[in-house]
Amino acid sequence: MSTILAIESSCDETSAAVISNGKICSNIVATQVIHQKYGGVVPELASRAHQQHIVPVVEKALLDAKVSKKDLNAIAFTRGPGLLGALLVGASFAKAFALGLNIPLIEVNHMQAHVLAHFIEAPTPSFPFLCLTVSGGHTQIVLVRSPLDMEIIGETQDDAVGEAFDKTAKLLNLPYPGGPLVDKHAQQGNPLAYTFPLSEMPGLNYSFSGIKTSILYFLQGKTKTNPQFVEENIADICASVQHTLIKMLLQKLRKAARQTGISDIAIAGGVSANSGLRKSLLELGEKERWNVFIPRFEYCTDNAAMIAMASHFKFEQAAFCEQTVSPLPRMAF
């Protein structure tokens, strides 16, 4: 029996969740809007906003779960990867809370938690499964043998796919974070209107930095003859870029599935909220006879429910950490 409070503060979402015996009882997310006007997350502003949000967010998570502090058996927090100043707020808060209540502390890897978001609700994948984790900072194909045994078998060598979406949006003068807006415009456009080169990376690795340059040159060429080109063709541009990015993602995922012989395939991370990716993955899954797992929208982007889920598995193994642990901005698996 366990009731755990989990805290997520790795980037620009301050979130707290309560999990009781493996069931999520609350999940509160405060998104920091302050970064919008700067066109990207400003680390110092993120830490300050986390400091402002963390107390009310935790209070609401406990209230929604109808749990009082004395019911808690452990406190979990995101140790990394993420922004150091942002991680420090969640880690310090969690440590103080655990110390004050004299209960154990559980450190969670944010990327592993994205994968474990699949266990929040049924249907859940069977082990071993592959998870394509796609976010603003990472693009990974993860071989998941058990909740606490995962291996990255392919990953980006430069930009993350979420970054490619956000940088595309910036070139199209769309506000930050641009990924969801590219998705929105793409739904009205023709994905075959323009072609962009696919990157060639060996094995199961990815590269997304080249596409930004191709889009830049493409737009420079088009706007020379028609200054209104972007405004007039935004839907077709977004649809074509999105189509290219999805094609790259799924090509390697299919290769990984064939190489490993695994047919339970999941996606996770912020970019798995993309409607085109969800649709294409389901279509490919049908062709390849995969069991496809796509989390509910709210569990795709950063949230503490996934941290809570990961901490539940760690609690079962009594995998606690010391008060002396410090955040790891580049935390590996």
Which one of 47-55, 68-76, 129-137, 170-178 is the stretch in contact with Zn ion (CB under 5 A)?
A: 129-137
Measured CA to CA, the distance from residue 160 to residue 243 in angstroms comes to 16
Token couple for 236: 């077709």
Which one of 74-82, 132-140, 167-175, 319-327 is the stretch in contact with Zn ion (CB under 5 A)?
A: 132-140
3-class DSSP assignment, residue 266 = strand
Contact flag: residue 272 with Zn ion (CB under 5 A)? no
* Comparison of 178 and 327: residue with beta carbon closer to ligand KG4: 178
Q: How far is the CB of 262 from Zn ion (least distance, A)?
A: 23
Contact flag: residue 9 with Zn ion (CB under 5 A)? no
Which one of 80-88, 165-173, 285-293, 295-303 is the stretch in contact with Zn ion (CB under 5 A)?
A: 295-303
Q: How far is the CB of 163 from Zn ion (least distance, A)?
A: 13
Among 135, 199, 303, 311, the residue binding Zn ion under the rule CB under 5 A is 135
Q: Is 134 annotated as a binding residue?
A: yes
* Comparison of 72 and 306: residue with beta carbon closer to ligand KG4: 306
At residue 265, what are phi and psi to the nearest 5 degrees? -120, 130
Q: How many CB atoms lie within 10 A of CB 272?
A: 24
Q: How far is the CB of 25 from Zn ion (least distance, A)?
A: 22
Measured CA to CA, the distance from residue 54 to residue 14 in angstroms comes to 6
Q: Is 189 annotated as a binding residue?
A: no
Q: Is the Cα torsion angle 222, 226, 227, 233 positive or negative in sign?
A: negative
147 binds, among Zn ion, ligand KG4, none (CB under 5 to 8 A by kind): none
Q: Is 71 annotated as a binding residue?
A: no
93 binds, among ligand KG4, Zn ion, none (CB under 5 to 8 A by kind): none
Measured CA to CA, the distance from residue 102 to residue 109 in angstroms comes to 23
Binding-site ranges for ligand KG4 (CB under 6 A): 11, 135-137, 162, 165-166, 177-180, 183, 269-271, 273-274, 301-302
Residue 278 belongs to what H/E stretch? helix 275-288
Helix, strand, coil % over all residues of the chain, rounded to 5: 50, 20, 30
Q: Is 274 annotated as a binding residue?
A: yes
* Comparison of 72 and 250: residue with beta carbon closer to ligand KG4: 250
Contact flag: residue 20 with Zn ion (CB under 5 A)? no
Q: Is 236 annotated as a binding residue?
A: no
3-class DSSP assignment, residue 149 = strand
Residue 79: burial class (beta carbons within 10 Å; 0-12, 13-18, 19+): buried
Give the start-end residues of each E strand in the chain.
Answer: 3-8, 13-20, 23-31, 74-80, 105-109, 129-134, 139-146, 149-155, 264-268, 291-293
* Comparison of 8 and 264: residue with beta carbon closer to Zn ion: 8
Measured CA to CA, the distance from residue 80 to residue 47 in angstroms comes to 14
Binding residues: 110, 114, 133-137, 166, 179, 183, 274, 302
Binding residues for substrate: 133-137, 166, 179, 183, 274
